[in-house]
Amino acid sequence: MTSVLDQLRDMTVVVADTGEVASVKRYKPVDCTTNPSLVLAALKDPASEDLIAQEIEKGRKAGLNPEDLTATLTVAVGAELTKLVPGRVSTEVDARLSFDTDASVARGREIIADYEKRGIGKERILIKLASTWEGIRAAEILQNDGIDCNLTLLFSMAQAVACADAKAFLISPFVGRITDWYKKAEGVEHYSPEEDPGVKSVRRIYDYYKSNDISTVVMGASFRNTDQIKALAGCDNLTIAPKLLDALDQEEADLPRALSPDMASGMAPVSMDEATFRWEMNADAMATEKLAEGIRNFDADHQKLIKLVAER
């Protein structure tokens, strides 16, 4: 019998939730997704040592400040990853720009321009933005420019509907972080996969998209265990950390398909303007808290990255 990971690959695009070169080489994912936390890990990765040193030296000679050098370094890591995967590499817009549409658009264009200087076309890159109202509007503008976007830190149906309306290329609903919130709020130690709030959220979003012929890719993210992953087998994409990829690769068992466009229930389309979006987010304590927390944590890691580059 083939491994669970191989069976998953037959029905879902598997994305590596890592920026470590060694892990990408080992697991051979179709795409890679990055954020400041993962770039920090790449900085400590021996396989990336020469690349990091070269980029820092080039930046020093060019007179770049640590913040600008951090931006080019992030793209350099992404450029290296494009050599290892056949698909896309997501590169994140600074979290501190999450409530500034114009600045997010400008930064997204800068990222694409930097990749192009390195000989990498925009068709290989996804610009990663937080799923705030402003981030979604930035994605809408960039998509109209032909620049595909990955909307991250997505915790609610309101965010998913708004992203679909903006014609975002891909969304990343966070499974594990939703589950974490409900465990704490409800005093529950464990959910079965069928009752897991994070799994149920992604299944509902997937159903809505397939019921309404929405082309935006649904990529489940932020998993805490392999049961959550298996409960979403058949989702368009799943981005999975190396330790969970390893566990799936070592497990030999039948993996039934959990999601398919043929299973769509026929959910009716929903209208989503700014006032409705903000009201629904306000009414959803989990989504509001996890979105804010995620932005803060990404920014904290971004600041750590700048400090580390400055020290180098």
Label residue 68 exposed, middle or buried (CB < 10 Å: 0-12, 13-18, 19+).
Answer: middle
Fold that domain 4-311 belongs to in CATH: TIM Barrel (3.20.20)
pTM (2 decimals)? 0.93
Q: Catalytic: 184?
A: no
Tens of pLDDT along 39-97?
A: 777 677 776 777 777 877 887 888 888 888 888 888 988 898 899 899 999 999 999 99
Spell out a b/e string for 219-229, using b for 16 or more CB atoms within 10 Å of the CB, else e.
bbbbbbbbebb
Instruction: Tokens 């590169």: give the residue.
Output: 91
**Which H or E run includes 222?**
none
Helix and strand element counts for the chain (H, E): 14, 8
Catalytic residue among 58, 117, 122, 128: 128
Q: What is the pLDDT of residue 32?
A: 85
Q: What is the mean pLDDT of residues 135-143?
A: 98
CB 21 within 8 A of CB 48: yes
Is the pLDDT score of 170 beyond 70? yes
Domain locations in the chain as residue ranges: 4-311
C-alpha 5/C-alpha 232 separation (Å) is 13
Task: With CA atoms as reference, report the closest residue to 70 among 299, 297, 310.
Answer: 310
CB 137 within 8 A of CB 108: no
CB 286 within 8 A of CB 182: yes
Average pLDDT of every residue of the chain: 92
Confidence of residue 38 (pLDDT cuts 50, 70, 90): low
Three-state SS for 231? coil
Is the pLDDT score of 103 beyond 90? yes
Q: Looking at per-residue confidence, does 186 or 28 come out higher?
A: 186
Tens of pLDDT along 141-155?
A: 999 999 999 999 999
The least confident of 29-33, 176-180, 198-202 is 29-33
C-alpha 174/C-alpha 152 separation (Å) is 8
C-alpha 29/C-alpha 25 separation (Å) is 8
C-alpha 126/C-alpha 105 separation (Å) is 13
CA distances from 223 to 79, 151, 179 (A): 26, 17, 9
Instruction: Tokens 């400590």: give the residue.
Output: 44
